[in-house]
Amino acid sequence: MIKVDHLTVNFGPSVAVRDVSFSVAQGESFGLVGESGSGKSTILRTVMGLNPDWSGSIKIDGQDTKSTSRTDLARRVQMVFQDPYASLHPRYVIGHAIAEPMRINKMPNPEKRTLELLDLIGLGGQFRFRFPHELSGGQRQRVAIARALALNPKILLLDEPTSALDVSIQAEILNLLNQLRKELNLTFVIVSHDLAVISYMCDRLMVMRNAEAVETLSRSQLRSRDIAQSYTRELIAAS
Partner 1 sequence: MSVIADPIIDPKRALRAARIAEFKSFARRFMRNPLGMVGLVIVIALLVCAALAPILATHDPYLPALSDRLAAPGAEYWFGADELGRDIYSRIIYGSRLTLLIVALVIVTSAPVGLVIGAIAGNYGGWVDRIFMRITDVFLAIPKLLLALAFVAALGPGIVNAALAITLTAWPPYARLARAEALIVRNSDYVNAIRLAGASDFHIIVYHIMPMCLSSVIVRMTFDMAGIILTAAGLGFIGLGAQPPLPEWGAMISTGRKFIFDQWWVATVPGFAIFIVSLGFNLLGDAMRDLLDPHLRQRR
The residues of the shown chain that bind partner 1, judged by CB under 8 A, are 48-50, 70-71, 73-74, 78-79, 81-83, 85-91, 93, 95, 97, 100-101, 104-105, 111, 115, 125-131, 133, 144, 147-148, 150-151
Of 141 and 232, nearer to partner 1 (C-beta) is: 141
Residue placing its CB nearer to partner 1 in the complex, 49 or 56: 49
The nearest distance, CB 227 to partner 1, in angstroms, is 34
Sign of CA dihedral 93, 99, 104, 110: negative
Rounded to a whole number of angstroms, the minimum distance from the CB of residue 111 to partner 1 is: 7
> Among residues 123 and 190, whose Cβ is nearest to partner 1?
123
Q: Report which of 42, 88, 48, 79 is spatially closest to residue 158, judged by C-alpha positions.
A: 79
Work out how close the CB of 232 gets to partner 1 at its nearest, in angstroms, rounded to a whole number: 30
Residues whose CB falls within 8 Å of the CB of residue 60, separated by 6 or more in sequence, listed in order: 1, 2, 3, 47, 68, 73, 76, 77, 155
Q: Which is nearer to partner 1, 41 or 199 (CB)?
A: 41
Structural contact between residues 117 and 106, judged by C-beta atoms closer than 8 angstroms: no
Cβ-in-10-Å burial (0-12, 13-18, 19+) of 10 comes to: middle
Produce one character per residue of 132-170: b if its CB has 16 or more CB atoms within 10 Å, e if not: beebebbbbbbbbbbbbbbbebbbbbbbbbbebbeeebb
Residue type, 223: R
Smaller CB separation from partner 1, 59 or 130 = 130
Q: Which is nearer to partner 1, 129 or 218 (CB)?
A: 129
What is the C-alpha to C-alpha distance for residues 196 and 194, in angstroms, rounded to an integer?
Answer: 5
Smallest gap, in angstroms, from Cβ of residue 144 to partner 1? 7
Q: Provide, rounded to whole angstroms, the least separation between the CB of residue 187 and partner 1.
A: 16
User: What minimum distance in Å lies between the beta carbon of 24 and partner 1?
Assistant: 18
Are the CB atoms for 94 and 88 separated by under 8 Å?
yes
